[in-house]
């Protein structure tokens, strides 16, 4: 086991005090992270229950248009509703027909806004103005019949208001419903049914919370409440919804006190999900390449750069190296010049057998069109049109070969030669100013294969590819890549800088999870790792563990600095190890109960599996990440 890798050496055992304590610490961390543990779970919109809020008309307008209630006791006791920075105690709420609650100490609302808000100053209020909670603050009205605004205090510690079958003023419909629930913890839940878009939102429409009293500066801007915004120390958080269907339609949003005086927004009442991100190592392909369909693009990508295929005993590690053309070695007077040809090929023999997958070979073949085959017989002989299908077809490409494949023509007048020689244990095969088919002329390229005779590693360096700007009649495609012996799937063109490891066609260590983490009331979720590499080759033994974390890293961090290049960390912290699995098949699994006691809606938990094996110096390979989001449905 590598030094410093914090693996458990047995499965998670609830009867083991240290492991049980570890689990409890993780669950406690989740409770702290979610900030809503202990509060009632946010639910999807349910407007049943409650009694009329008693809104009455003000001014010249009817109650269904511009209605406002008397102060209503929220039943939170003398301390009222907690709201950092607001003057209190906030024991009562004034319900407004335009989708707003004004919080007071028992008196009338101070600084209410008629007809719906018009700008950020209406959200902030002025000195002494009441705090305001607004799930959908706009110029709303009710149809002649069917609309209602109800208050429900039947759940202890919760004050809920339902706006039922309202519509945007003057729109003629459609009608929609939504609700706001205030909890004794200070959490605010908004729930929504289907919501209309243009042209219904005729004037400014906002959703959010404000402590009132002129909070902020007036320069605050709208945020997307579905992306977990955090207002920091500011007691104002809002989204302006003008002219669009809000992303939280048919969903819910919780505004959670963040401990700094502001609020954090979390989407609730959404579908519980598992999402995979990143890719496990080591995915291997028997063939890989990048294809350009015009020479200018290929020239821009290749000139001055290099590609290393490092032999690892069973395949190759592919590395694109910018600037590596400085290692180009010009042919000496001792170099052998191959015959001139348009699309021909020439067998050559190295002084010693070169290691290749499955053995070694001294027989090689050089194709004028930029193919170096590790066999006496050429791959893709006489083929001047590069394609991925031909590269992976064992009928025309049966052997190990390396490609800078283009329609070269050393027989064209003015072309330089293709030459080869061995210097210091390296075979150099050089296109030394070789002409390319097409115009203009001269239209030459200088580049080189470098084969390390002892290690078997193969490097391509491109000094200067041909400058053609007019495609040849046969096309102007250029392909750089590799194929192992035998058939294989065509994975399509891939960036040279992102080619996978080259070997038998296998997927890297992979992690999945099922079923969805529904916490209403609980779900046993199982993670499954597949494609686990053997702990020791040919042993039939597999050793894997899996970590949970509250800090996903979607972009990943390559662990090359630990000696595991190509493997990435997709979690930022190792918060809980679910235990090592010793198995006799390339799979492993772990389970954890997601419930509504330790988890809250919108909690995000990331997972990543890790396998011990000798595929890199660090002795560790990693899976993709799985990001799980809890919800009540």
- Domain assignment of residue 366, yes or no: yes
Q: Are residues 52 and 121 in the same domain?
A: yes
Q: What one-character DSSP code corresponds to residue 519?
A: -
Task: Judge contact between 151 and 50, C-beta under 8 A.
Answer: yes
Q: Are residues 554 and 468 in the same domain?
A: no
Q: Are residues 461 and 551 in the same domain?
A: no
Token code pair at residue 323: 């600037």
- Domain assignment of residue 11, yes or no: no
Q: Are residues 204 and 326 in the same domain?
A: no
Backbone φ and ψ of 456, nearest 5°: 85, 0
- Domain assignment of residue 6, yes or no: no
Q: Are residues 338 and 434 in the same domain?
A: yes
Instruction: Report the run of H or E that residue 160 belongs to, with start and end.
Output: strand 158-168
Supply the pLDDT for residue 475. 54
Q: Which of 235, 268, 301 is the last residue of a domain?
A: 268
Cα separation values, 412 from 269, 442, 465, Å? 70, 10, 16
Backbone φ and ψ of 287, nearest 5°: -145, 145
Q: Which of 472, 502, 532 is the last residue of a domain?
A: 502
Distance of CA 613 to the CA centre of its chain: 27
- Domain assignment of residue 33, yes or no: no
- Domain assignment of residue 38, yes or no: no
Q: Are residues 80 and 207 in the same domain?
A: yes
- Domain assignment of residue 477, yes or no: yes
Distance of CA 565 to the CA centre of its chain: 20
Supply the pLDDT for residue 24. 53
* Rounded distance between C-alpha atoms, residue 477 and residue 475, angstroms: 6
Q: Which of 469, 502, 535 is the last residue of a domain?
A: 502
Supply the pLDDT for residue 615. 81
Burial class (CB in 10 A: 0-12, 13-18, 19+), 337: middle
Q: CATH number for the domain including 523?
A: 2.60.40
- Domain assignment of residue 259, yes or no: yes
Q: Are residues 251 and 309 in the same domain?
A: no
* Rounded distance between C-alpha atoms, residue 286 and residue 307, angstroms: 17
Q: Are residues 138 and 203 in the same domain?
A: yes
Cα-based angle 583, 584, 585 (whole degrees, multiple of 5): 95
Q: Are residues 259 and 347 in the same domain?
A: no
How, if at all, do strands 501-502 and 284-285 pair? parallel
* Rounded distance between C-alpha atoms, residue 569 and residue 553, angstroms: 7
Overall domain count for the chain: 3
Q: Are residues 496 and 534 in the same domain?
A: no
* Rounded distance between C-alpha atoms, residue 476 and residue 406, angstroms: 7
Backbone φ and ψ of 353, nearest 5°: -65, 140
Cα-based angle 93, 96, 101 (whole degrees, multiple of 5): 40
Task: Judge contact between 613 and 583, C-beta under 8 A.
Answer: no
Exposure pattern of 405-428 as b/e (b: 16+ CB <10 Å)? Answer: bbbbbbebeebbbbbbbbeeebbb
How, if at all, do strands 371-373 and 458-464 pair? unpaired
Q: Are residues 494 and 510 in the same domain?
A: no
Token code pair at residue 575: 């918060």
235: number of Cβ within 10 Å: 24
Supply the pLDDT for residue 447. 97
Average pLDDT along the chain, 633 residues, taken 10 residues at a time: 29 38 53 39 74 90 92 97 95 96 97 90 96 94 87 95 92 90 95 74 81 95 92 96 75 92 88 90 90 89 96 90 96 96 94 96 97 96 93 94 95 93 98 83 91 98 82 69 93 90 89 92 95 91 96 90 89 94 96 90 90 90 94 75
Supply the pLDDT for residue 294. 84
16: number of Cβ within 10 Å: 15
Domain that holds residue 195: 43-268
Cis peptide bond upstream of 89, omega within 30: yes
Q: Are residues 209 and 297 in the same domain?
A: no
Which residues sit opposite 611 in a β-bridge? 544, 621
């Amino acid at each position: 086991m590598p030094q410093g890798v914090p693996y458990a050496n047995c499965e998670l055992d609830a009867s083991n005090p240290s492991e049980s304590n570890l689990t409890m610490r993780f669950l406690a961390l989740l409770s702290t992270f979610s900030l809503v543990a202990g509060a009632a779970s946010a639910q999807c919109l349910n407007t049943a229950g409650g009694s009329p809020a008693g809104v009455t008309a003000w001014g010249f307008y009817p109650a269904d248009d511009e209605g406002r209630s008397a102060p209503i006791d929220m039943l939170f006791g003398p301390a009222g509703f907690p709201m950092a920075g607001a003057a209190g105690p906030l024991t009562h709420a004034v319900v407004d027909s335009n989708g707003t609650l004004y919080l007071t100490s028992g008196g009338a609302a101070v600084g209410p806004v008629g007809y719906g808000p018009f700008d950020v100053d209406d959200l902030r209020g002025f000195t002494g103005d009441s705090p305001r909670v607004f799930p959908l603050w706009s110029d709303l009205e009710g149809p002649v019949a069917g609309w209602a605004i109800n208050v429900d205090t039947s759940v202890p510690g919760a004050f809920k208001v339902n706006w039922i079958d309202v519509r945007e003023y003057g729109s003629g419909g459609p009608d929609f419903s939504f609700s706001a629930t205030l909890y004794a913890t200070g959490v605010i839940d908004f729930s929504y049914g289907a919501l209309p878009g243009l042209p219904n939102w005729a004037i400014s429409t906002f959703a959010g919370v404000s402590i009132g009293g002129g909070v902020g500066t007036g320069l605050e801007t709208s945020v997307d409440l579905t992306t977990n915004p955090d207002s920091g120390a500011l007691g104002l958080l809002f989204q302006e919804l003008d002219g669009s269907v809000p992303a939280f339609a048919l969903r819910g949003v919780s505004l959670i006190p963040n401990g700094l005086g502001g609020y954090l927004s979390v989407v609730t009442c959404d579908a519980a999900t598992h999402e995979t991100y990143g890719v496990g190592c080591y995915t291997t392909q028997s063939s890989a390449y990048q294809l350009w369909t015009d020479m200018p693009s290929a020239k821009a990508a290749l000139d001055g750069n290099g590609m290393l295929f490092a032999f690892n005993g069973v395949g190759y590690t592919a590395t694109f190296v910018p600037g590596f053309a400085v290692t180009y070695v010009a042919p000496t007077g001792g170099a052998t010049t191959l015959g001139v040809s348009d699309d021909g090929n020439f067998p050559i023999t190295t002084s010693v057998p070169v290691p290749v997958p499955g053995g070694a070979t001294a027989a090689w073949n050089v194709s004028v069109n930029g193919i170096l085959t590790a066999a006496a017989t050429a791959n893709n002989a006489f083929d001047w049109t590069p394609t991925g299908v031909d590269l992976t077809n064992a009928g025309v490409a049966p052997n190990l070969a390396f490609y800078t494949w283009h329609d070269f023509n050393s027989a064209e007048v003015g072309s330089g030669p293709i030459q080869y020689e061995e210097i210091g244990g390296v075979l150099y095969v050089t296109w030394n100013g070789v002409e390319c088919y097409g115009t203009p002329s001269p239209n030459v390229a200088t580049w080189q294969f470098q084969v390390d005779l002892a290690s078997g590693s193969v490097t391509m360096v491109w000094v200067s590819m041909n400058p053609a700007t007019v495609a040849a009649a046969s096309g102007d495609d250029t392909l750089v890549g590799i194929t192992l012996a035998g058939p294989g799937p065509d994975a399509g063109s891939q960036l040279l800088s992102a080619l996978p490891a080259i070997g038998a066609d296998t997927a890297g260590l992979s992690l999945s999870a099922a079923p969805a983490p529904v916490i209403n009331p609980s779900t046993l979720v199982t993670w499954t790792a597949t494609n686990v590499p053997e702990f020791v080759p040919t042993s039939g033994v597999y050793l894997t563990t899996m970590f949970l974390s509250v800090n996903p890293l979607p972009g990943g961090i390559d662990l090359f600095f630990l000696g595991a290049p190509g493997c990435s960390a997709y979690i930022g912290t190792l918060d809980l190890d679910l235990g090592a699995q010793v198995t006799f098949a390339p799979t492993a699994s772990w389970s954890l109960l997601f419930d509504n006691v330790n988890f809250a809606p919108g909690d995000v938990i990331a997972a990543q599996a890790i396998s011990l094996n000798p595929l890199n110096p660090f002795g560790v390979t990693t899976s993709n990440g799985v990001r799980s989001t809890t919800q009540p449905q």
